[in-house]
Chain A
Amino acid sequence: MHIMIAGSTPERRNREEEGRTGMAATCPNCATDVAMEEAPEVSEVIACPDCMVELEVISLDPVRLGLAPEVEEDWGE
């Protein structure tokens, strides 16, 4: 297959992964531990409960958070 996904691979989650809960990761902005009650998804955007900055889940194993990108001009429905 000649599809290249930069930085990750197409994700095919199984039942075990779907069941993961109770995860936490560090906010890259304020270093707070951000707890996630539901199993996070790659590319999910969440807010840091402490500094309120928007964060994006960039990996699951381990869970890592990056700063979510700013809204761009052509984003939307």
Chain B
Amino acid sequence: MASRPPVVAVLASHVRLEEKLIFRALAARGCPRVHVDDRRLAVCLDGARPEWDVALNRALSATRRVEVSRLCEAWGVPVVNTSQVVATCDDKLATSLALLRRGVPIPPTAVALSPDGGRQAIEAVGYPAVVKPINGSWGRMLAKLNDPDAAEAVLEHRRALPSPAQGIVYAQRFIDKPGRDVRSVVIGDRVVAAMHRRSEHWVSNTALDAEPVPCPITPRLEELSLRAAAAVGGGALAVDLLETAGGELLVSEVNSSMEFHGLVRATGADVAGRLVAHCLEVARSA
């Protein structure tokens, strides 16, 4: 790479607190940055490579997010995260299969490819069960099913939804966690911070007002987080984990375009700085 500071393209739909922190971290390292709104991106496929040394994919839409990484890879621009990692993380079934392949513990999980088989999938994991959209985020459209009547109602609604993806029934055994879950952030080969998300509700998500509080990075949490990140392909990732009543940790999902304002507020960790350092390392080693 040339001696000039690397150009980091931040492909972001919205400039949230996270993106502002990233911009500040870039400025602190003297790096010029290009902010590209992925909603406005238009590309000639036989065109020249943009003058970016590395790209950070912060697209808000899962549909656009994977294409952003594919385009960067086609140009030969190293991107955080790769399209393979984004595609795996944005599909809960693909994530679960990747985790299982690497022996990472997950809640008992079953899937039916249409609502017709949904009842069997739900009963395979047992009641209470949680049904999640295969490609959803922010705790949207999760359903906790305590009995067959609830299952029938949710499956009937799923049949009525226009999106074929919503017809896939991804069911997990409900984990009666202690009023909180765990989110750890893995950047490269390190766990840089972790938090609990406390909530009275059975869904613990900061998008649904769960309270972020610091979480110690125990050896087990560190080990599982690193294994989960490696299982989906590695990069800059947020790993969500559930604690069972017996104290076991289970990985519920891995996020490829993490939001971290709650974690920064709770822990003071310099996630943006680590993210930028990782991007520069990726650019250097490309």
Residues of A within 8 A of B (CB): 1-8, 10-12, 18, 41-45, 56-57, 68, 72-77
Q: Which of B25-41 contact A (CB under 8 A)?
A: 27, 32-37, 40-41
Task: Tell whether, in the assembled complex, residue B62 and residue A12 are in contact, meaning their CB atoms are under 8 Å apart.
Answer: no
CB pairs A–B below 8 angstroms (12 shown): A1-B47, A1-B48, A3-B36, A3-B43, A5-B36, A5-B42, A6-B41, A8-B37, A44-B16, A75-B60, A76-B62, A76-B207
- A76–B63 Cα distance when bound, in Å, is 11
Within 8 A of A (CB), among B241-260: 255-259
Q: A1-B48, A77-B255 are in contact. Are A7 and B14 (CB under 8 A)?
A: no
> In this assembly, does B152 line the interface, its C-beta being within 8 Å of a C-beta of chain A?
no
Instruction: State the CA gap A31–B19 with chains docked (Å).
Output: 28
**Is the CB of B23 closer than 8 A to any CB of chain A?**
yes
Interface string of B36-80 (1 = CB under 8 A from A): 110011111011101100000000111100000000000000000
Which of chain A's residues have a CB closer than 8 A to the CB of B12? 43
With a cutoff of 8 Å between Cβ atoms, the chain A residues found around residue B16 in the complex are 44-45
Residue with the greatest number of chain B CB neighbours at <10 A, chosen from A3, A7, A72: A3
- Among A18, A41, A42, A75, the one with the most B-chain Cβ atoms within 10 Å of its Cβ is A75
User: A3 near B35 (CB under 8 angstroms)?
Assistant: no
| A10 touching B43 in the complex, CB below 8 Å, given contacts A45-B14, A77-B257, A77-B258 | no
Point out the residue from B23, B37, B140 that lies within 8 Å of A5, measured CB to CB. Answer: B37
The 9 closest A-B pairs by CB, nearest first: A76-B137, A2-B47, A2-B44, A77-B255, A41-B15, A44-B15, A4-B42, A74-B62, A6-B40
Report B's interface with A, CB cutoff 8 A.
9, 12-16, 19-20, 23, 27, 32-37, 40-44, 46-48, 50-51, 60-63, 135-138, 140, 163, 207, 238, 255-259
- Chain A residues with CB under 8 Å of B23's CB are 41
B residues less than 8 Å from A5 (CB atoms)? 36-37, 40-42
- Chain B: minimal CB distance from A4 (Å): 4
Q: Contacts A18-B27, A45-B14, A73-B136 given; 12 further ones with Cβ under 8 A?
A: A3-B42, A4-B43, A6-B42, A12-B34, A41-B35, A42-B15, A43-B13, A56-B14, A74-B135, A75-B137, A76-B137, A77-B259
Q: Is the CB of B35 within 8 A of A1?
A: no
Distance of A10 Cα from B37 Cα, bound (Å):
8
**Smallest CB separation, B276 vs chain A (Å):** 16
**Cα separation A70 to B254 with both chains bound (whole Å):** 25
Q: Which residues of A contact B257 (CB under 8 A)?
A: 77
Known: A1-B50, A41-B15. A77 touches B138 (CB 8 A): yes
CB distance from B33 to the nearest CB of A (A): 7
